[in-house]
Chain A
Amino acid sequence: MSTENRNLTDENVVSNVCDALDDSVNRIDAETSQRIVAARQAALAKTPKRFSMPKIFAATATALSIFIAVIVVNTQLNQNLETESVEAIELIASQDTIELYEELEFYTWLVEEDVTG
């Protein structure tokens, strides 16, 4: 036994052992290496499929856009209906207009009299 070996420090021991372990990994035979790779591939094939974050964001943005579009169109339709309703109510409520339609023959005659007279 040499003096060098007698004075092995903890760092030397750890370093030497780790080097030997690294060598042992490099010496794993081809068949075993292939089986390790096959095991990894089999495990990865069983990985559950999941939505990635960008896809989730895209789906959420699309759904939000459709929702906003529906709300905007619906609001505009309601506004148009309200305008038409108000006009109809005004027309019905106007006594003059109703009288005009009721006495249409009289007013037609009056206009003709004015023209000829």
Chain B
Amino acid sequence: MISVERRAFRMAEMSMRNREDALDIVQDAMMQLASKYANKPAEQWAPLFYRILNNRIMDFHRRNTTQSRWRVWFAKNDDEEGYDPLEHAANESLGPSDMVDLEDSVERVDHLLKKMSPRQRQAFLLRAWEGMDVAETAKIMKCSKGSVKTHYSRAVHFLREQLQENL
């Protein structure tokens, strides 16, 4: 857990846009991992932890969606089973011109990742940053391997375009 906890916190923070919510969700995920999966082999802990964390993030966005009238109305027009709360979570609304002010590469990347679609961000962080394979990422994101490849490819494309335009 030590090796992934800080990265997990950053992932949660990028999804929740709030430090307190991110800390709460990381703690919840840790609690569930320790209480239910402590007897699993150590090499399974990281994927399990991210799966729990991902579920928590989905639940968080689902709750927010339910609380919002507009989003509830939007959800009713969507296919109930295919509805993905992450897809409808708010993205960072800063325009490309805002990037000019972000001198620091950490801030720039943080801004770009927040601007990205949540599913693309998730696929990118798990595949590129956490080094998980497509199958593991698909399990964590509860989608097909093909969807993971698509989200990841679009994420890299988005980042490359943004970096080329703004750096």
Question: A46 within 8 Å of B by Cβ?
Answer: yes
CB proximity of B35 to chain A, nearest CB, Å? 6
Known A32-B23, A39-B26, A40-B1; judge A24-B10 contact (CB<8 A): yes
Q: Mark A47-59, 1 if CB is under 8 A from B, else 0.
A: 1101000000000
- Using a CB-CB cutoff of 8 Å, which residues 17-62 of chain B contact chain A? 19, 23, 26-27, 30-31, 33-35, 38-39
Main secondary structure of the interface of A (DSSP, over half): helix
Q: Is the CB of B109 within 8 A of A24?
A: yes
- Using a CB-CB cutoff of 8 Å, which residues 108-129 of chain B contact chain A? 108-110, 112-113, 124-125, 128-129
Known A35-B23, A40-B5, A47-B35; judge A5-B108 contact (CB<8 A): no
Q: Is the CB of A43 within 8 A of B31?
A: yes
Q: By the criterion of a CB under 8 Å from any partner CB, how many residues of chain B are at the interface?
A: 36
Report chain A residues within 8 Å CB of B1: 40, 43
CB proximity of A97 to chain B, nearest CB, Å? 72
Main secondary structure of the interface of B (DSSP, over half): helix
Q: Is the CB of A20 within 8 A of B164?
A: no
Q: Is the CB of B163 within 8 A of A5?
A: yes
CA–CA, A50 and B156, complex, Å:
45
Q: Which of A5, A27, A50 contacts B167 (CB 8 A)?
A: A5
Q: Which of A13, A23, A24, A46 contacts B156 (CB 8 A)?
A: A13
Q: Is the CB of A47 within 8 A of B164?
A: no
Report chain B residues within 8 Å CB of A18: 128-129
Q: Is the CB of B34 within 8 A of A23?
A: no
Smallest CB gap from B127: residue in A: A14
Q: Is the CB of B9 within 8 A of A32?
A: yes
Report chain A residues within 8 Å CB of B165: 1
Q: Mark A11-30, 1 if CB is under 8 A from B, else 0.
A: 00110111111011101100
CA–CA, A35 and B129, complex, Å:
23
Known A20-B105, A28-B6; judge A44-B34 contact (CB<8 A): yes
Q: Which residues of B contact A (CB under 8 A)?
A: 1-2, 5-7, 9-10, 19, 23, 26-27, 30-31, 33-35, 38-39, 105-106, 108-110, 112-113, 124-125, 128-129, 156, 159-160, 163-165, 167
Q: Which residues of A contact B (CB under 8 A)?
A: 1, 5-6, 8, 10, 13-14, 16-21, 23-25, 27-28, 32-33, 35-36, 39-40, 42-44, 46-48, 50
